[in-house]
Amino acid sequence: MEGCSPSRQLKILERIFEKDVRSLKTSGVINFEANSYEIYWKSEKVHEDRMPYPFYFTDRLYYDHFLLEEVKATGVTVLEGCKVIGLRRDGEKINVLTDEGGRFSCKYLVGADGVTSVVRKYIFSKSHRKLNNEWKKGLAVAFETFLKREKTNNFNSPSLFFGYVNSGYGWIFPNKDKLIAGIGALVKKNELIYNSFKEFLRDLALNHDKIYAYSIPFGNFITGPIMDRILLIGDSAGFVDPFTGEGIFYAHRSAEIAAYSIYESITRNENVSNLYIQLLNKYLYPELRHAKKLRSLIYSCASHLNWRINRLLLKRFADKLIKAVHGASSYNFLKSASSLRDPVWK
Ligand SMILES: Cc1cc2nc3c(=O)[nH]c(=O)nc-3n(C[C@H](O)[C@H](O)[C@H](O)COP(=O)(O)OP(=O)(O)OC[C@H]3O[C@@H](n4cnc5c(N)ncnc54)[C@H](O)[C@@H]3O)c2cc1C
């Protein structure tokens, strides 16, 4: 899986790890940069423009490894190759059970275990039928594959493709030495997303490698992702942009908010549940809600309206949308996006 990183994500890295774009480029974490983008209806290019801010591209293996090393350098113990299989409560203690027979006890637990989270399944067990149904209804499926750069060197900008799926889109993202082609869409709005992906690859005559499949939470963010002292962050709580499907920023931001809430609980006896929810309401949910409202409008325009009208809409609103994706403004075009940028730690 590859990553496209807008400015709002990089600002968090700068704040927490003191790594700016230049150092991320020097260390190879950022391997490509684009200042323009293209929009397609099926295989026909319908819009292209320069962007007010560049998009940066990274290989997720490098990016995740970089984060892991930064965390280890602070003295955190990391157990690799060990799978969490369940949780048990024992009075005040939370016991974490692993596939190797391990049992770890803690007072606070953060579930950062992605879309198939064991921790979420523990908190929202089968008895939470409504919540589990909502979660399933909001899942998207994504397929992704890699293409060699030399054969397909005509894509130097991130390119988005509409018309192949409902409530979703296809993409081609450039990296230094490869291209990444993908498609992602809400399962409930599509019949066979895999077939749409094959059609997309065929139309563009893309000679691809193996195809990988993933699940993405797509608008099904959980509004109370906490039980006592067990907190969910990132994909495990569904914190993914409901318009773009981009989730690295939200994973970082919710981690920052969770860490602060736990710190305040330990040092000032704050109620961790109340504080986490309060801060999510301030810093995260408003933007997720605006993005979800906007996506209904944008995806229905993209699939139903005449593309002559869509071109006019893009000319008028594309800059605002790109600024919102970068966190330079809000998806609520009437508001500033300071809640996305403001540091949580005072
Ligand atoms: C095809 C695709 C393309 C994407 N492109 C972008 C993009 O360009 N930009 C962007 O911002 N976002 C993108 N996303 C979304 C982004 O990848 C996620 O939102 C982000 O990785 C979420 O981070 P996370 O830490 O919450 O979860 P994850 O990155 O999924 O990490 C979860 C971690 O928990 C571990 N884990 C899971 N279960 C267990 C267990 N039982 N025991 C122990 N460990 C466990 C996993 O091994 C993994 O290391 C994309 C997603 C997909 C599927």
pLDDT in tens, 34-69: 999 999 989 889 889 998 888 899 999 999 999 999
Residue 98 included in any domain: no
Q: Is the CB of 59 under 6 A from ligand 1?
A: no
Which CATH number fits the domain that encloses residue 238? 3.50.50.60
The verdict on 322 and 177 lying in the same domain is no
Structure tokens at 270: 């704050």
Q: Is the CB of 213 under 6 A from ligand 1?
A: no
Provide the pLDDT for residue 4.
65
- Ligand 1 centroid to residue 116 C-alpha, Å: 10
The verdict on 144 and 272 lying in the same domain is no
Residue 230 included in any domain: yes
CB atoms within 10 A of CB 99: 11
Residue nearest to atom 45 of ligand 1 (CA): 113
Domain stops at, among 217, 237, 253:
217
The verdict on 245 and 314 lying in the same domain is yes
The verdict on 184 and 308 lying in the same domain is no
Closest atom of ligand 1 to 240 CA is 19
Residue 100 included in any domain: no
In terms of Cβ atoms closer than 10 Å to its own Cβ (0-12, 13-18, 19+), residue 53 is middle
Q: List, for residues 171-225, the tens digit of each pLDDT value.
A: 999 988 889 999 999 999 999 999 999 999 999 988 888 999 999 999 999 999 9
Provide the pLDDT for residue 197.
97
Provide the pLDDT for residue 3.
64
- Ligand 1 centroid to residue 241 C-alpha, Å: 13
The verdict on 229 and 292 lying in the same domain is yes
Residue 276 included in any domain: yes
The pairs formed by 322-327 with CB atoms below 8 angstroms and a separation of 24 or more are: 322/37, 322/51, 322/52, 322/53, 323/52, 323/53, 324/291, 325/6, 325/241, 325/243, 325/244, 325/246, 326/6, 326/7, 326/8, 326/52, 326/53, 327/6, 327/7, 327/8, 327/11, 327/249
Statement: residue 307 has pLDDT above 90: no
What band does 111 get if pLDDT is binned at 50, 70 and 90? Answer: very high
Which CATH number fits the domain that encloses residue 23? 3.30.9.100
Provide the pLDDT for residue 52.
80
Q: Is the CB of 258 under 6 A from ligand 1?
A: no
Residue 134 included in any domain: no
Residues constituting the chain:
346
Provide the pLDDT for residue 324.
79
Closest atom of ligand 1 to 248 CA is 11
Q: List, for residues 120-161, the tens digit of each pLDDT value.
A: 999 998 778 888 899 999 999 999 999 987 655 578 899 999
- The mean per-residue pLDDT over the stretch 7-34 comes to 89
The verdict on 145 and 54 lying in the same domain is yes
Coil vs helix vs strand at 314 = helix
The verdict on 39 and 172 lying in the same domain is yes
Domain stops at, among 217, 234, 257:
217
- Ligand 1 centroid to residue 114 C-alpha, Å: 5
Provide the pLDDT for residue 153.
58
Residue 83 included in any domain: no
Domain residue limits at 254? 108-129+221-341
Residue 95 included in any domain: no
The verdict on 53 and 183 lying in the same domain is yes
Domain stops at, among 148, 182, 217:
217
Portion of the chain with pLDDT greater than 70, in percent:
94
Probe residue for ligand 1, chosen from 65, 96, 235, 254 as the CB with the greatest number of ligand atoms within 8 Å = 235
Probe residue for ligand 1, chosen from 4, 67, 100, 113 as the CB with the greatest number of ligand atoms within 8 Å = 113
The verdict on 162 and 174 lying in the same domain is yes
The verdict on 229 and 316 lying in the same domain is yes
CB atoms within 10 A of CB 315: 11
What is the DSSP code (8-state) at residue 22?
Answer: H
- Ligand 1 centroid to residue 245 C-alpha, Å: 12
The verdict on 180 and 292 lying in the same domain is no
- The count of domains in the chain is 2
Q: Is the CB of 1 under 6 A from ligand 1?
A: yes
- Ligand 1 centroid to residue 311 C-alpha, Å: 33
Give CA separation, 73 vs 68, 69, 109, 198, 263, in Å: 9, 6, 21, 43, 20
Closest atom of ligand 1 to 115 CA is 30
Q: Is the CB of 6 under 6 A from ligand 1?
A: no
The verdict on 186 and 229 lying in the same domain is no
Statement: residue 99 has pLDDT above 70: yes
Give CA separation, 246 vs 8, 9, 56, 243, 291, in Å: 11, 10, 13, 8, 11
Provide the pLDDT for residue 2.
59
- The mean per-residue pLDDT over the stretch 105-109 comes to 97
- The mean per-residue pLDDT over the stretch 263-271 comes to 96
Residue 117 included in any domain: yes
